[in-house]
Amino acid sequence: MTASVTTTLNDVNIDAVAGLAGKIQQEPQVADTKWNARVNWKGGFRSEASIRDFGPMPSDEPDALGGTDTGPNPVEQVLAALGNCLAVGYAANATAMGIEIRDLNIDLEGDLDLHTFLGLAPQGNAGYDNISVKVNIDSEAPRAEIQALHDKVVGTSPVGHTLSRAVPVKIDLA
């Protein structure tokens, strides 16, 4: 009987990641993916997002913005999406590079002017003016390896790329 061995570092199954990368090299069309979410309004500023088979994720606005503060608001979720995407990138790429991460935390902050959202400056920008991210990695790896890891992650983050360039968004009324 042959035992199956799975290579893990940082709790990442690198064999699974390498397997997908190999499959995409053989069949490039496999890389073309589509992701979906469905949002249902729950009254007021409350809504829930359903993604795949996961339970609904709540969204609401803080009291000061007229909500009931029962969940993070959408702009906070954007920051969380970026941070979560970066965390995946650090874990995957550190593992591929043989770097053990003892601890990783990512602090994100965005500046948003509420004038346009509130209808007080209709021609302005309702979105973030800028987003700042501070990444703290605890690892015994040399600083040069951590910098190379950081550069790789920033250069390959799907959410980072989405936020840092113009992406066509089409919003149709059914």
User: Which CATH number goes with the domain that contains 161?
Assistant: 3.30.300.20
Q: Is 140 helix (H, G, I), strand (E, B) or coil?
A: coil
Number of Cβ within 10 Å of residue 95's Cβ equals 20
Q: Is residue 127 part of a domain?
A: yes
Residue 128 shares a structural domain with residue 45: no
Tokens of 165: 């360039």
79 and 64 in a common domain? no
> Is residue 17 domain-resident?
no
Based on the domain organization, do 56 and 110 belong to the same domain? no
Evaluate whether residue 5 is within a structural domain: no
> From first to last of its 174 residues, what are the pLDDT tens digits of the chain?
545 445 578 999 988 888 989 999 999 999 999 999 999 999 999 999 999 999 999 999 999 999 999 999 999 999 999 999 999 999 999 999 999 999 999 999 999 999 999 999 988 999 999 999 999 999 999 999 999 999 999 999 999 999 999 999 999 999
Which one of 20, 47, 72 terminates a domain?
A: 72
Q: Domain limits at 103?
A: 73-166
| Same-domain pairing of 86 and 52 | no
| pTM exceeds 0.95 | no
Same domain as 107, residue 47: no
Answer yes or no: do 112 and 162 share one domain: yes
- Give the 3-state secondary structure of residue 107: strand
Rounded distance between C-alpha atoms, residue 146 and residue 154, angstroms: 12
Domain membership of residue 28 (yes or no) is no
Residue at 18 is within a domain = no
Together in a domain, 116 and 147: yes
Q: What is the DSSP letter of 100?
A: P
CA distances from 31 to 24, 28, 120 (A): 6, 6, 43
- pLDDT at position 7 is 58
Number of domains in the chain: 2
Predicted local distance difference test score (pLDDT) of residue 5: 47
* Confidence (pLDDT) at 95: 95
